[in-house]
Amino acid sequence: MTIPPSQPAPEIRTVVAGQGFREWASLNDTIMGGASRAGCRVTDQGLMLEGEVVSEGGGFVSCRSPVFRPPLDLSGFNGLRLTLDGEGRSFKVAVACRDGVLGLTELIPGGLRWVTTVATQPSSTTVVDIPFEQLRPVVRASPVSLPVRFDPSCITRLQLLHSRFGDDGQANPGYKAGPIRMLLRSIDAF
């Protein structure tokens, strides 16, 4: 019997966990006239987003990183791994990066973001892998068709949103208005 050689464990890099979340901040629909309220705070388990989501006037709450200076270089990885407790809600993961069109997307009001929607378990921790190739370009929840490319070598910001809109601009089936409590335990690159 031949025993196959063991495969090396895939490389995992912690992007943010624990006190690394201390500079993250909330950004809610109040910036566009909405009434949702939520705040982020660091706990011994990760980043807690707590508050109230109101559908009228916007319908989103979020936590986002500070701008990475220098940009985060994840070019040696295939994607992001999120570990979170999300009450069965769906969250939109948004990644900002420099683009391959001479930086022109930085001139777009609201900014270009690369997004995907992830579902969470109702009562336990969810671990989800997001391949970079799964991310779609959007501006303010609307898909764009500009000739842009995602560049993992220059990620400038990360954000996690609970929004009534999914990554395709359509209604998010995992959206719930009302009290929210989400714990983002860590973000890793795989």
pLDDT tens for each residue of 69-95: 999 999 999 999 999 999 999 999 999
Q: What is the pLDDT of residues 40-61, one digit of tens each?
A: 999 999 999 999 999 998 899 9
Query: 136, 133, 78: which is closest to 112 by C-alpha?
Result: 136
Mean pLDDT of the chain: 89
Structure confidence at residue 108 as a pLDDT band (50, 70, 90): low
Q: What is the pLDDT of residues 128-147, one digit of tens each?
A: 999 999 999 988 777 887 77
Assign residue 51 a region: left if phi > 0, alpha if psi is -120 to 50, beta otherwise?
left
What domains can you pick out in the chain, each with its CATH number? 13-189 (2.60.120.430)
Alpha-carbon gap, residue 89 to 118, rounded angstroms: 9
- Residue 34's pLDDT is 92
109: pLDDT strictly greater than 80 = no
104: CB partners within 8 A, 6+ apart: none
Alpha-carbon gap, residue 94 to 166, rounded angstroms: 11
Between 43 and 148, the more confident residue is 43
106: pLDDT strictly greater than 90 = no
Calculate the CA 98 to chain-centre distance: 16
164: pLDDT strictly greater than 90 = yes
Q: Are 140 and 31 in contact (CB under 8 A)?
A: no
